[in-house]
Structure 1
């Protein structure tokens, strides 16, 4: 396995890492590995409902009404 050295880390971050590690019952090094693994893992897929709920409210349904100008029938033709 490779080694990773991180320099010039703010002391407050180091302290937060130690506290988080203690809360999870592991060493700061193990906590650092866990944070890296979580951050670099493939993103979790969201459900369709979660995606819909994350969309901003941008208007009323009537604002997005369709008009039938006959062009829709010629989209693929």
Structure 2
């Protein structure tokens, strides 16, 4: 495995990395590695795959949208007809 040394970092950036690592329960080195992996990981998921993955996390709609629109319309405009 390779090594990477980054010199000349702003002290605030180093401190932010350490704080982020602490929140994640990792060492600063492990957090640095995770950030690099996340930033440089090639995108292999297509838009359609991402959409399907997100759709699977969304609860199924049990009502027909036309019924919901009709109910809202009748509620909002029903009093004007009286």
Q: Distance in 1 between matches of 2:37 and 2:46?
A: 17
Q: Distance in 2 between matches of 1:27 and 1:13?
A: 15
For residue 28 of structure 2, what is the aligned residue in structure 1? Answer: 28
Cα deviation digits, residues 12-44 of structure 1 (max 9, x gap): 100000000000000000000000000000135
TM-score under structure 1 normalisation? 0.57
Kindly indicate whether residue 42 of structure 2 is the aligned counterpart of residue 9 of structure 1.
no
Unaligned 5+ residue runs, structure 2? Answer: 52-82
Give the ranges of 4+ consecutive aligned residues of structure 1 lying more than 6 Å apart after TM superposition.
Answer: none
TM-score under structure 2 normalisation? 0.54
- Provide the alpha-carbon RMSD of the alignment: 2.0
